[in-house]
Structure 1
Amino acid sequence: MSGLIEGLPDDVAIRCLARVPFYLHPKLELVSRSWQAAIHSPDLFKARQEVGSSEELLCVCAFDPENLWQIYDPLRDLWITLPVLPSKIRHLSNFGAVSTAGKLFVIGGGRDAFVDPLTGDQDGCFASDEVWSYDPVVRQWGPRASMLVRRYKFACCVLNGKIVVAGGFTSSGESTYQAEMYDPEKDVWIAMPDLHPVYNSACSGVMIGGKVHVLHKGLSTVQVLDNAGARWILEDCEWLQGPMAVVQDAVYLMSHGHIHKQEKDGMKVAVSTSKFGRRFWFAMIGLGDDLYVIGGLSCYDGMKLLSDVDVLTLGTERPTWHQAAPMTRCRGIIRGCTQLRI
C-alpha cells in the first residue's frame, strides 16, 4: 500500500480513506490496486475506529430470496446486498444472528423438516451446528468452528465480545438445556453451565443491563447469566408476550395494539401500533434512539410478503412513526436481524 494519495504518508492516507462510508468501498477499490489493497486491509477498519467514523448498521435476512442478507445504512437510508450465504441448507431458519469483532455471525438453525409424501424422503437439515461469519473487510462469507451441539430456536447473545448460545431444540426435536460460548479470536467453542430445565426450551436471547437474558416462549420465566458466568439465575419477569426490542438499554414490547416500555413500576404504553394489526413474522430491533419494524407478512390482501421498514423515533417527548427505504431484495418473514458496527 504505497503512494495511496500523492504527497501524503500512507498512514495519513489510510485515515483519509477511513472517513469514506462503507457503501462506497466497492467504488474506492476500483481506483487502483493500492486502493484495493487498502480497502481490504484490517488497518482501514482500525483507522475507522480511531477517527470516529465507525458506522452502526442493520443486517437483515428474510424468507425470500433464500439465504440472502442485506445491510441497512440509516444515515443514508439505503440498502446494501451481501453475497448469498453459502450454506447447503436451503431457506436456513431458526438460527442465531449476532455481530462481534466487526463481523456478522450466523449460527446453527436449520430447515423445518419436509417429508415428500410420495417417497418419504426428508429434504434438508433439521438442525445444524454450522457457523458462518461475514467479514466486511474482504466482503465475503467464511465458515467458522462448528458448535458443540446442533440446535435451532435457541438464545444467542454477545457478552464481552464473545457469543453465548443456550437452549433450543436438537435434530431429534428434543429440548436441550446446554449452553456454550464462542471466542471469535481463537475460533473455538467451550461448554458453559446448563440452563435450568423448563417446560418449553424454544427461546430467544436479549442483552439487558449488560447481562444475558434467556426468554422462553410463552413463559414468564427468564434465565439470567450471573456476572461471573458461572450459573443461570431464574427470574419471573411477567412481561407481556410479543415482539421485543431493546433501545438504549430499555425494553420495548409490542402487544395488544401498542408498544409498551418496561419501567420499574411495570409496563407503560409508549405508542399505538394499530397499523401492524394484521402484520406477522416481522423483525423488531433497536438502533440508536430508533425502533425498527421490518418486513413480515401482511394479511390485509391475502398473504403479501413485505419489504416495508417502519421506524419509531423514541428520543422525543412524543414518539413518532416514519417509513424508511424498503428492502430492495429481501421480503417476507424475517429469518434474522441484528446490528453491525464497522
Structure 2
Amino acid sequence: MSNGFVPVPTKSWAKVVEEGVLTAIVEGCVEGLNPVKAFLSSEHDEEGEAEALIPGLPDDLALLCLAKLSHGYHGVLQAVCKRWHFLIQSPEYERAHLQGGKCGDWLFVLTEEPKEGNWTAYDPEAGKWHVLPPMPGVTADHRHYGFACVGVAKRLLVMGGYYTPFDPPMQPAKYFAVNEVLQFDPFSKRWSKVASMRIPRCSFACAVIGGKVYVAGGCSSSRRSPLSHAEVYDPIENRWEDIAPLPNAREDCVGVALAGLFYVIAGVVENHADQRTVEVYDPSRATWYSLPDVWLFSRQMPCPVTSMQGSMYALDDWDANTIKVYDPQLGEWVNIGPVPGVEVPGQDRRPKGFNFGLIGLRDELYVLGGKVLRWQPANGHWKKFDILRLNTVIACNPSARSVTWRKVNCMGESRGAVLGCAVLEEEPNSQTSSVNAG
C-alpha cells in the first residue's frame, strides 16, 4: 500500500522564506496551512556534494522543522527525495522526535482484511491513514484474534489472544492463548516484545487507569473454563503483578476505564450464562464490587463499547445501530442517536452494518469499518446476498446539542470487521490512552 500519500507541487525556497513559513512551523504557530508544502527540495545529486535538507537552512534546524510534522505526513516526506526518504527512517529523525517528547495523536485499527494483518494508523492532524510495519508473528496464513490493545505511555500495546489459520468466518475448533505482549513505538516505528502477562489469556477485559494496564478474565484455550485471574502492568517498570481475582470468572468480556475505575463488562460466566452484572475494580482500594443490571444485553457477545472524556458509550447493534451513553446518576443507558446507514452501490436503501469498531479520540466518537449484507434480486425477490466489507470511517461529537456525523477519510485497503482499535492522545503533561479489545 502506498500509505495514501501523493506528491505535492514544489515551491521556490525564496518564496517560502519570504512568507516566513519555516519560522512559523518551528514556533508551532501555523494555522490553516498545510506545512508539507514548505518542505520540498530538489532531488539529491548523488554524483555531487549532498545538498542541504532544506536550502538556506542548517541541517540541524531543518531536522527540527521536519520533526515537528505529525506522522501522517511522513509518507509524502519520504517521496520528496532519497535523502529525505532515509532521513525519516533514521535514528537522527527518531531522536529529534523523542527530544520534542511529542508523538502526536494516533488512532490504531486492525481489521480482518488485508490478509497480511497489518495495523493501520490514522493521523487526525494530517487527515491521513498509513500502514504500520508488520507485527511479529502475524503472516498471511495466520491471524491474531482474541487479543486486547491499548495506548499507554506513548506506546501501543497488543496483549494475549491466539493465532489461527486465516479464515475470518469460522471460529477455530481448537486454539491456545498466548501471554506475550508486543509494543509499537511511534518514535522508532518499530515493534518489540515487552514483559509477558503472568498467564496466557484471550477474549479478556483490559483498560488503562493512572498510566497502568489492567487485565482480567478471558480464557486460556478453547477447552478451558473462564478465568478469574487479574493483573496489572506498569509500563515504566515493565512488570506485571497480580491483583485480586474477579468475583466471578468470565470470558468474552470487555474492559472500560471510567472515573478511575476498571469496568469488566458482558461475557459469559462458568455456567455459560450471559452476564448483565458489571464487575468494577477500584485500584485505590484494591477491591472489586458488583453493579447488577448495568449492561445493556443478556447475550454472550458484547457490542462495541468505549469510554471518552469520563463517559461510557456503546454502539447498540441490535437497536438500529444506536449510539448510547451510560448515565451513572440514572443508572441507565440514554440514546444519543443512530449511526447513519451504509451507502451500498446499486441499492436505494441503506442497510444496517455490523462488526464495527468504536473508539473515542479527543471529543469525537469514531465508527470504523464493519460489514453489510448486499442483497441481490432472485426470481423477483431479494433472496441472495453477499457480504460487503467496509473501509469507511465516520465521526461525531456525542455531547453536541445536535449530533452530526462527518465522513473521515477511508482506511484504504484495511476493511471489514474491526478486530481491535486503540488511540494515543498527545497531552503536554500526562500520558493518556483509550482502549478497545480485539
Partner residue of 2:314? 253
Counterpart among 31, 39, 59 of residue 84 in structure 2: 31
Counterpart among 79, 99, 105 of residue 56 in structure 1: 105
CA distance in structure 1 between the aligned counterparts of 2:185 and 2:333, rounded to whole angstroms: 39
Pair 1:286-2:350 in alignment = no
CA distance in structure 1 between the aligned counterparts of 2:127 and 2:217, rounded to whole angstroms: 36
| Aligned-pair CA distance for 1:304 | 1.4
| Aligned-pair CA distance for 1:25 | 3.9
CA distance in structure 2 between the aligned counterparts of 1:64 and 1:124, rounded to whole angstroms: 22
Counterpart among 321, 332, 338 of residue 272 in structure 1: 338
TM-score normalized with structure 2 length: 0.67
| Aligned-pair CA distance for 1:274 | 5.9
8 Å Cα contact 2:361/2:425 also seen in 1: no
Q: How does 1:107-186 map to 2 (within 5 A)?
A: 107-111=159-163, 125-171=175-221, 172-186=223-237
CA distance in structure 2 between the aligned counterparts of 1:177 and 1:325, rounded to whole angstroms: 41
Which structure has greater strand proportion? Answer: 1
Q: 1:38–1:123: structure 2 CA closer, same or farther, 3 Å change rule? A: farther
CA distance in structure 2 between the aligned counterparts of 1:226 and 1:99, rounded to whole angstroms: 20
Counterpart residue identity of residue 312, structure 1:
C
| Aligned-pair CA distance for 1:113 | 8.4
RMSD: 3.0
> Secondary structure of the residue that 1:318 maps to in structure 2?
coil
| Aligned-pair CA distance for 1:164 | 1.3
> Secondary structure of the residue that 1:23 maps to in structure 2?
helix
Matched residue pairs, number?
A: 327
| Aligned-pair CA distance for 1:211 | 1.6
CA distance in structure 1 between the aligned counterparts of 2:157 and 2:286, rounded to whole angstroms: 24
| Aligned-pair CA distance for 1:293 | 0.9
Higher relative contact order (CA 8 A, sep 6+): 1
Superposed CA deviations along residues 23-74 of structure 1, whole A, max 9, x for unmatched, are 2346379439777333212x5234144xxxx522210001112421000112
> Secondary structure of the residue that 1:85 maps to in structure 2?
coil
CA distance in structure 2 between the aligned counterparts of 1:314 and 1:142, rounded to whole angstroms: 36
CA distance in structure 2 between the aligned counterparts of 1:161 and 1:88, rounded to whole angstroms: 28
| Aligned-pair CA distance for 1:105 | 0.8
| Aligned-pair CA distance for 1:95 | 0.2
Counterpart among 244, 250, 257 of residue 193 in structure 1: 244
8 Å Cα contact 1:15/1:48 also seen in 2: no
Q: 1:32–1:106: structure 2 CA closer, same or farther, 3 Å change rule? A: closer
TM-score normalized with structure 1 length: 0.85
CA distance in structure 2 between the aligned counterparts of 1:33 and 1:69, rounded to whole angstroms: 22
> Secondary structure of the residue that 1:87 maps to in structure 2?
coil
> Secondary structure of the residue that 1:40 maps to in structure 2?
helix
Q: 1:13–1:239: structure 2 CA closer, same or farther, 3 Å change rule? A: same
8 Å Cα contact 1:4/1:34 also seen in 2: no
> Secondary structure of the residue that 1:31 maps to in structure 2?
helix
Q: 1:125–1:220: structure 2 CA closer, same or farther, 3 Å change rule? A: closer
Q: 1:285–1:33: structure 2 CA closer, same or farther, 3 Å change rule? A: closer
| Aligned-pair CA distance for 1:316 | 2.4
Q: 1:21–1:234: structure 2 CA closer, same or farther, 3 Å change rule? A: same
Counterpart residue identity of residue 312, structure 2:
V
Partner residue of 1:118? none
Q: 1:330–1:274: structure 2 CA closer, same or farther, 3 Å change rule? A: closer
CA distance in structure 1 between the aligned counterparts of 2:59 and 2:132, rounded to whole angstroms: 33
Counterpart among 313, 317, 321 of residue 397 in structure 2: 313
Identical positions, percent: 29
Partner residue of 1:40? 94
Pair 1:72-2:122 in alignment = yes
Counterpart residue identity of residue 92, structure 1:
H
CA distance in structure 1 between the aligned counterparts of 2:292 and 2:406, rounded to whole angstroms: 35
> Secondary structure of the residue that 1:307 maps to in structure 2?
coil
Partner residue of 1:244? 305
- Larger Rg over CA atoms: 2
Q: 1:254–1:44: structure 2 CA closer, same or farther, 3 Å change rule? A: closer
Superposed CA deviations along residues 190-236 of structure 1, whole A, max 9, x for unmatched, are 211111125x4321101111221111224221111114252212122
Counterpart residue identity of residue 326, structure 1:
C
Q: 1:56–1:250: structure 2 CA closer, same or farther, 3 Å change rule? A: same
CA distance in structure 2 between the aligned counterparts of 1:95 and 1:341, rounded to whole angstroms: 21
Q: 1:219–1:34: structure 2 CA closer, same or farther, 3 Å change rule? A: closer
8 Å Cα contact 2:104/2:425 also seen in 1: yes
Bigger Cα displacement from structure 2, 216-225 vs 170-179: 216-225
8 Å Cα contact 1:14/1:44 also seen in 2: no
Partner residue of 1:19? 68
Q: 1:39–1:260: structure 2 CA closer, same or farther, 3 Å change rule? A: same
> Secondary structure of the residue that 1:299 maps to in structure 2?
strand
Superposed CA deviations along residues 83-119 of structure 1, whole A, max 9, x for unmatched, are 111115721011010011111111000146899xxxx
CA distance in structure 1 between the aligned counterparts of 2:337 and 2:86, rounded to whole angstroms: 52
CA distance in structure 1 between the aligned counterparts of 2:199 and 2:226, rounded to whole angstroms: 12
> Secondary structure of the residue that 1:314 maps to in structure 2?
coil
| Aligned-pair CA distance for 1:78 | 1.3
| Aligned-pair CA distance for 1:313 | 2.6
Partner residue of 2:41? none
| Aligned-pair CA distance for 1:335 | 0.8
Counterpart residue identity of residue 268, structure 1:
V
Is there any run of 5+ residues in structure 1 with no aligned partner, and where? Answer: 116-121
